[in-house]
Chains A and B, each alone.
Chain A
Amino acid sequence: EDQVTQSPEALRLQEGESSSLNCSYTVSGLRGLFWYRQDPGKGPEFLFTLYSAGEEKEKERLKATLTKKESFLHITAPKPEDSATYLCAVLYNFNKFYFGSGTKLNVKP
């Protein structure tokens, strides 16, 4: 069965302490991998799209990478405002996104 698994479920970091979030997938026929940020009570906010293994995208303190079976979201020197749930989604069959359950990031000052 096609699956998207994110780890860890929750992550606590001190401000400035870099780390990585993982998204592994077993979806066949991947047509794109997407990262979103979701604040409590809000809709997910688009961050990155990755299409092929080896691709990397960066935005401020965030960097997303993709291999054949997983993606990483690297957070460099995080700030408290980076606290949110980060969702990974894979696009399957042109129109169906499978989402993971997310990693809840808490950055303490």
Chain B
Amino acid sequence: ETGVTQSPTHLIKTRGQQVTLRCSSQSGHNTVSWYQQALGQGPQFIFQYYREEENGRGNFPPRFSGLQFPNYSSELNVNALELDDSALYLCASSRQESGNTIYFGEGSWLTVV
């Protein structure tokens, strides 16, 4: 158990809708990253938040956005859902000052129909 919790665990959305995924980071961790993992692939970096600001972004369009709150929890928002957005969305937390190892939650499975 990493102490990183994500919700919801599974959800189904219709193309064009919007979705919000939530993550609570491990106690003592101040940095949150989000990853997308398609079936049979490795996780792909979406973005990272540190001190409530975006601190790096991968090759994802602006309809993928996020927030980090003062308690270091985070949200991932995806607008105008497309079928290809169907994937496992992983949240990972770390402590910026204690090295770079990231610890993952169990993920949120998103299916877009």
Contact = CB atoms under 8 A, between A and B. Distances in A.
Partners in one complex: yes
Interface of A: 4, 6, 31-32, 34, 36, 41-46, 49, 87, 89, 91, 93-102
Contacts of B35: 97, 99
A101 B44 CA distance: 10
B40 interface: yes
B40 A101 contact: yes
A93 B58 CA distance: 12
Nearest to B10: A41
B43 A99 contact: yes
Contacts of A100: 42
A31 B101 CA distance: 11
Given A43-B104, A44-B90, A96 B58 contact: yes
A90 to B, nearest CB: 11
Nearest to B48: A95
B: interface residue count bin: 20 to 34
Nearest to A93: B56
Nearest to A102: B42
Nearest to A104: B40
Interface of B: 2, 4, 31, 33, 35, 40-45, 48, 50, 55-56, 58, 90, 99-107, 109
Contact of A31 (B42, B55, B56, B100): B100
A97 B102 contact: yes
A36 to B, nearest CB: 8
Contacts of A4: 42
B56 A91 contact: no
B66 to A, nearest CB: 14
Given A44-B43, A99-B44, A100-B42, A94 B100 contact: yes
A43 B107 CA distance: 6
Contact of A43 (B42, B50, B58, B90): B90
